[in-house]
Structure 1
Amino acid sequence: MQSRRQQRNERYGRFIGFTALGSLIPGTGLIAAGKRRLGTTVLVVLAALAILGLAVLALVPRSELLSYGGDRQMMLIVGTLLAAGALAWLLIALGTHRSLEPQGLTGGKRLAGALVVILCASVVVAPMALGSRYAFTQRELVGNLASSGASNTTPEVDVSDPWADKPRLNVLFLGGDAGEGREGLRPDTQILASIDTETGATTMISLPRNLQRFPFPEGTPLADAYPDGFVGGGDAGEWMLNAVYRNVPRDHPDVFAGVGDPGADATKWAVEGALGIEVDYFIMVDLNGFEAVVDALGGITVDVPRDIPWGNKSLPDGSCTQANGYIQEGDDQLLDGFHALWFARSRCGSDDYERMERQRCVMNAIVDKVDPTTLLSQYQSLATAAGDIVTSDVPADLFPELIKLMVKVRSQPLESLTLDNEFFGSMGTTSSDPDYDELHARIAEILAATPAAPPAGETAPPSDTTEATGQSASDAGTDRAASIQQTSGTTEEPADGESGEAEEPAADEPVDTGAVC
């Protein structure tokens, strides 16, 4: 009697053990159940797939692997294969369980065997199912971010080698804000990223929203429409850089017939005319959804130069309403999405140029925070947030090559040039009436002096963010060290009752913009 019970226990223990092993390594349980041919076939196929996967990881460059994330067709294939693989793995585990299950088991023991299958199979099936979900989400994200309509300004490129004749890729980042009391959307944040396509070295050029009198590029319809530059009568605020997005398509609808984002197209031409360089693509971020991205990242860390008010706004008489609170001064302050948005957006007690510096700091902080661990753990929420608030005119089939380029960008320091009062003051002008020929010359020479890539095996720290100064065009190309300096300085907060928007100083009195990075 004891021997028979012992045998039953041994058979049950063998059943549980091989069920667990067969759920983790398909084929082993089938061999133990006597189905040697089927089990061996499953094992051989599994081993071949494992070897193929390891070979791909070992032989294919990391940048190439990452670029597959921008290929919608590849993401469809990967997502489908992972889903099919997860289903096949689960079915084999269930088949193994049925093949090994002894007859006459009680309900409790049968339930225990089923739980073993579920627990062991989930170790492999759950990650495969999650990977499948991520692949389909990535495919949808690329579709959401990619161009959704025609454009007058996007270049025609061979996507198999898009940078062959393009030493620099210029991408315009727009921060759109259709806030309360504002008619339509105005991109107050405009930052051009000029990327060396060979090395990935990048210069970020921050343009003030109040830039005026800029020309449009020769040969474009807007150059004919505005032969004297973007100037006109009435409210001066309607003839600034941030007004182009809404006003130009409204006044010249025939120029933008069929264009997916007329305002962005017009703004690209405006920035081209202002800087004297071609703008290839734009990426628009809706600031009203910006805080969702920051929250998905778990917050960002910035140095706060002084107490920054939040919850208030500027009044017509130049004063500000009472702040609901303050972002406290201090280094390495962790900000959630709500406070990060106010840190970038707050106007009261500062001028446009300090806001530009804070916005640049926020962008750098986001780049620093985007690491593989964060992406994997928060991918779904990040992808959802980005898909809701980001638009661009980048063609979908260019994303793989663009991702490869971004890998290079992350290995290089980001340098920045802020077109502030000090910059324009060094030219004896202001942002309301710059010398655009001189501005074009300075931009061209600064970008031409982009440093070379570090030696093989060395990478420059991406957090080493520097700022280009407004030096003379004749010196900019000959002495790069003199044209790049570490961002520094503080900004004094005006007393209560003073204007929330600082007056522009005289050309010979450049202000300290309170850079905080």
Structure 2
Amino acid sequence: MTHTESTVEERADVPAARPGRDGSGGGGSGDRGAATPSGGPKRRRARRVLLWCLAGVLLLVGGPAGYGWWRAESAADSIPRIPDALPDVPERQQPPPGDGVTFLLVGLDTRSGVPTTGDDAQAPAWRAGASRSDTMMLFHLSADREDAAVVSLARDTWVEIPGHGEAKLNAAYSWGGPALAVRTVQDLTGVRVDHLAVVDWNGFRELTDAVGGVDITVPRDIPGRGDALAHRAGTHRMNGEEALAYVRERKGLPRGDLDRTARQQNFLRALMGRVLSGETLSSPSRISGLLDSVGDVVGVDDGLSNSGLYDLAWGMRGLRTSDVRFLNAPVDGFGTRQGQSVVLLDRERAAPLWEAIREDRVTEYLATHDTDGLKDPGSVR
């Protein structure tokens, strides 16, 4: 390579000399003009190499982050937003805000309508009397984001529903939708609900399959009864269809509604462990499946923005299944009210639990109270 050629390549950003009126290099020496025919292609080649190098760097460094952000934004957009999900009552009629963040999780066996995706995604409209809630749980995340508690409320719990009198807890959603369900739980517990999440058990089928199934431990042999499936004692890897049948079962369980809530907690614990496992987090296909399924599983109140979801997810990044306590609201047995079999809440035993949630002291509560009847995985059937 001549010195002239080397100089041209190193100075590939220098524009070629303009031709003069006579067609020569114009304004430059004859040597510079003579170098133009051989230097032009090399300059273009140098530019192409530079552009490909930059593209490669952007692909390797910025690509995954950009793609991950786009996938996260797309997943957040796909989550339906529920309008007017929280009670519209004067502040003085609501419990005072507590420390940490508290969600009311409402589980339904089916959703009416099909949610749309994108910026205008909304949950299907609630219709009076269309369905009763299958599950209600209070999910409390501590202010320091180091622990959480999930407290199940039996759907047959006999409660006072504002404006309707006494009835089973799950009637609140049927009669007045999400806002009445939230208000009923707030009045019952004295715990301020910050956000609502409506969970579709049907959607968990796809979510379970997306993570490769869940490991459910059954402590003892369970005979099949009617439509109920038989289970052998031990740990079973269940796919989405099997897990859905497991959490839906009720009639074949000795304690009915109470055993069903225990199964739901058992499933959620197993699913959480599966999602947080290295096997899932290291698999792009499983992460993609999770992101694709989330909008089919849960809808949230319209006060929870995408940035709010990101902040929540970031705050929970250090949680492990051992940091999440699964409890049942204490019950005082079963009874009959207005010709219905109901669950009776033990309000005296429940009072310190609600206080612990309000004051963000659940860990202290668990250390100082007898909770054997509230959190016993061995009782899951």
- TM-score normalised by the shorter chain: which range applies? 0.5 to 0.7
Identity %: 22
Return the structure number with greater strand share: 2
The change in CA–CA distance for 1:355 and 1:409 in structure 2 (over 3 A counts) is: same
Matched residue, 2:190: 276
Return the match for 2:130 from 170, 184, 190.
184
Match of 1:356 among 255, 258, 261: 261
Report the residue type matching 1:480 in the other structure: A
Once the two structures are TM-superposed, the CA of residue 38 in structure 1 deviates from its matched residue by 1.8
Q: Which residue of 1 aligns with 2:74?
A: 140
2:199–2:299 CA contact under 8 A, matched in 1:
yes
Distance change in 2, residues 1:267/1:302 (3 Å): same
Name the counterpart of 2:26. none
Q: Answer whether contact 1:175 1:284 (CA < 8 A) is retained.
A: yes
SS class of match (1:269): helix
User: Aligned ranges for residues 334-349 of structure 1 at < 5 Å?
Assistant: 334-349=237-252
Distance in 2 between the 1:436 and 1:324 partners?
A: 33
> Is the counterpart of residue 323 in structure 1 residue 227 in structure 2?
yes
Query: In structure 1, what is the equivalent of residue 274 of structure 2?
Result: 369
Partner of 1:171: 103
Report 1:53-452 matches (<5 A): 53=61, 82=63, 132=67, 135-145=69-79, 147-153=81-87, 167-178=99-110, 184-214=130-160, 222=162, 225-226=163-164, 230-231=165-166, 239-247=167-175, 249=176, 263-308=177-222, 322-323=226-227, 325-326=229-230, 328-350=231-253, 351-371=256-276, 373-375=279-281, 376-393=284-301, 394-410=304-320, 413-421=323-331, 424=332, 432-434=343-345, 436=347, 439-445=350-356, 448-451=360-363
TM-score (norm 1): 0.51
Counterpart secondary structure, 1:407: coil
Determine which structure has the larger helix proportion and give its number. Answer: 1
Distance 1:441 1:366, change over 3 A: same
CA distance in 2, matches of 1:150, 1:395: 14
Which residue in the other structure is 1:38 paired with? 47
Q: C-alpha distance in 1, partners of 2:58/2:279?
A: 26
TM-score using structure 2 length: 0.67
- What is the number of equivalent residue pairs in this alignment? 301
Counterpart amino acid of residue 404 in structure 1: W
Note the C-alpha offset of 1:397: 3.0
Q: Determine the C-alpha separation between the residues in 1 that align with 2:360 and 2:288.
A: 40
Cα RMSD (Å) of the superposition? 3.7
Shift of 1:35: 5.2
Post-superposition Cα deviations, 1:165-206, rounded to whole Å, max 9, x if no partner, equal 862210122210249xxx722222111111102143111101
1:71-111 CA-to-partner distances (Å, cap 9, x unmatched) read xxxxxxxxxx74xxxxxxxxxxxxxxxxxxxxxxxxxxxxx
- Change in CA separation of 1:444 and 1:348 when aligned onto 2, cut-off 3 Å: same
Provide structure 1 residue ranges, at least 5 long, that are not aligned to the other structure. Answer: 1-31, 54-80, 83-126, 156-164, 216-221, 232-238, 250-262, 311-319, 452-475, 491-513
Map of 2:22 onto structure 1: none
The residue identity in structure 1 corresponding to 2:170 is N
List runs of 5+ in structure 2 lacking aligned partners: 1-40, 90-96, 112-128, 334-340
Between the aligned partners of 1:515 and 1:200, the Cα distance in structure 2 is 26
CA–CA distance in structure 2, aligned partners of residues 435 and 354 of structure 1: 17
Q: Residues of 2 paired with 1:278 and 1:356: CA distance?
A: 22
Change over 3 Å in CA distance of 1:388–1:407 after alignment to 2: same
SS at 2:288 equivalent: helix
Q: What SS is found at the alignment partner of 2:380? A: coil
Alignment CA distance shift 1:192-1:298 (3 Å): same
Using CA pairs below 8 Å that are at least 6 residues apart, which structure has the higher relative contact order? 2
Kept in 1: contact 2:139–2:148 (CA 8 A) = yes
